Amino acid sequence: MFSGLIPAFPTPLNPDSSIDESALERIVCYQIEKGASGLVALGGTGEATALSASARKRVIQITVSAAAKRVPVIAGVLDSGFGGALDTGLLYREAGADGLMVIPPYYSRPDQDGVLRYFRALAPELRLPIIFYDNPYRSQIITTPATIARMEQERLIIGMKASNTDLYHLDVLSKLVSDDFSLLSGQDTLFVQQVILGAKGGVLTSAALLPDYWANVQTLAETGRVQEALAAQAMLNPLMDALFNEPFPESVRQAFAMLGLPIGRSLPPVGPLSQAGEARLRSALEALIDARILHRIR
């Protein structure tokens, strides 16, 4: 159901921390016009956990309206427990989301049976396609390939975002799920490797800046031109280092500002970039512009 390059993008904000609606419309259209296959609003990049419920609902409404059915809109459900996740998922369904990306309940840190109970309780209530958000770094939960495959078999989820550097985990999972399972890379730095192991696309933060380039990398990997794909991915390593080695997602916000689309500052507790980090980010962007990989936003 979901495949190709699906950027996870930051939420544009005004100086008073309200939603910058015009900038949100612009960033949505920019990504679609650059070849995005879908959009993930309000993931970690979108700072979902820092925004109020009313603000998050408005983000989905605007994103859905601006996307105008050109691509599906997936909304991130990053709540720590059942009640919050249920309320959030229903809010997003009412706002028009086409699917949900749901993280397991990280505060309670359940075992495998607990993860199954959680999604068995959520899925029938939400009644939208669910992408399982596998992010052990954030959730502190290791969900086994067998558990994830079981969730697909029970029709609780239709795919997974693999924000996980464990390639063996993804390799095992790819052999347990069906051909219809939307297995998606969530690791910008390992995208090619995850595609080789069976990912059908990716929910990538850096794809918010250049989805067309990443789509070409995916095509190279899928058609057996692995060395070319790896070389193309490596061209983005300085950018990815700059994006992920500083307070996140402030680095992504500043990247958009440097390209000509200011979208405000991150909310607390995220702070500004260091001077060295800002210089590193600017240098990485300028190198990609000079190489005609990236273009300023006009």
Backbone angles phi, psi at 162, to 5 degrees: -95, 80
Which residues are paired to 159 by β-bridges? 131, 182
- 118 catalytic residue (yes or no): no
What is the crossing angle of helices 237-244 and 275-290, to 10°? 150
In whole angstroms, what is the distance from residue 242 CA to residue 5 CA?
Answer: 21
Number of Cβ atoms within 10 Å of the Cβ of 298: 6
- 161 catalytic residue (yes or no): yes
Residue found by looking up tokens 């029970």 in the block? 154
Marked catalytic residue, from 161, 168, 175, 213:
161
Beta strands 73-77 and 39-41, pairing class: parallel
| Amino acid in position 117 | R
Marked catalytic residue, from 34, 133, 200, 213:
133
In whole angstroms, what is the distance from residue 162 CA to residue 98 CA?
Answer: 20
Residues involved in catalysis: 133, 161
